[in-house]
Structure 1
Amino acid sequence: MQIRCPHCQKTNRAPTNRLHENPQCGACQQPILGQVIELNGASLQEVVTTNALPMIVDFWAPWCGPCRMFAPTFEAAAKEYGGQLLFTKVNTQEEQEAAATYQIRSIPTLAVFHGGQEIGRVSGALPATQLNQLIDEIISKTTTSA
């Protein structure tokens, strides 16, 4: 998968099965997982099935007010927890087939995946404290089951 470095903006190729190794940018040597990664339907399926890290997918749309309000909170969490979870988002307006495949009925919806399986789902824009609590639960759940 291609990931843009949040520090120098260079594009890096990172194998999805090695994302748990906290890859660094080839140009500036900074960690590249401290950001939200935009996925399309095909890349979402690839990352869900091959990624070793637990991941949170934010299903959103640009016309959705709560989605736009939640985006900075999700981005801040990605910066804080980037080495422990993979933070991704899917634009349901552009990726309607992916939204149908994952049975997204409302947005924003956060779906949590680990080991190729969905392990949780929350609908609605969460305040930072609730998102952090959810992330702590995911980390606890996935490290004890690993």
Structure 2
Amino acid sequence: MSNGIHIVCPHCEAINRVPADKLGDQPTCGKCKYLLFSGHPLELNESNFERHISRNDIPVLVDFWAPWCGPCQMMAPAFAQAAQRLEPNFRVAKLNTEEAQMLAGRFNIRSIPTLALFKGGREVARQTGAMDANGIVNWSRSKS
């Protein structure tokens, strides 16, 4: 029997233990029964950010962005493509800095888009500026 990996459900926020060797088998939440990975970036906010950053055992890649930011809008499709390639080994998420200004301040986000990689609740890497899907995937894997 393999060790369980904790995964926070993107739908109901329940913490699930998934056997490591079953992570790629489209696991579902034990509480709400939805898929734990959708291949799409998860929208984070002030209320769920900390839970996803600190309780997922997999790295969490966060795109700090804003609706008015041209480069953010240009990078959005590439970030969505990267999510399809990085899951289930990463949780891929977005945080709107206009709606979550306290978090943007807490993490000293000065320019956007900014990608931040979190492991075990701590930021371990950061990259500023728009990137294509290959760049996002390669950067994330190299930093995890």
Q: Distance in 2 between matches of 1:109 and 1:56?
A: 10
- Deviating more after overlay: 66-75 vs 129-138: 129-138
Structure 2 portions without partners, runs of 5+: 1-7
- Equivalent residue for 2:130, pick from 106, 125, 129: 125
Structure 1 portions without partners, runs of 5+: 4-11, 142-146
Quote the offset at 1:65 in angstroms.
0.4
Q: Distance in 1 between matches of 2:130 and 2:28?
A: 30
- Deviating more after overlay: 71-80 vs 124-133: 124-133
Structure 1 pair 59–18 and aligned structure 2 pair: CA distance change class (3 A): farther
Q: Which amino acid aligns with 1:118?
A: E
TM-score, normalised to structure 1's length?
A: 0.78
Q: Distance in 2 between matches of 1:68 and 1:103?
A: 21
Where do 4+ consecutive residues of structure 1 move more than 2 Å?
12-27, 30-33
Q: 1:47 — aligned with what? A: 52
Q: 1:13 — aligned with what? A: 12
Check if 1:38 corresponds to 2:40.
no
Quote the offset at 1:132 in angstroms.
2.0
CA RMSD of aligned residues (A): 2.2
Q: Distance in 2 between matches of 1:17 and 1:121?
A: 27
Q: Distance in 1 between matches of 2:36 and 2:120?
A: 23
- Equivalent residue for 1:96, pick from 90, 93, 101: 101
Structure 1 pair 18–59 and aligned structure 2 pair: CA distance change class (3 A): farther
The 3-state SS of whatever aligns with 1:73 is helix
**Does the CA contact (< 8 Å) of 2:39 and 2:84 recur in 1?**
yes
Q: Distance in 2 between matches of 1:17 and 1:119?
A: 24
Aligned residues: 129
TM-score, normalised to structure 2's length?
A: 0.79
Quote the offset at 1:45 in angstroms.
1.3
Quote the offset at 1:31 in angstroms.
5.7
The structure richer in helix per residue is: 1
Q: Distance in 1 between matches of 2:36 and 2:113?
A: 27
Q: 2:78 — aligned with what? A: 73
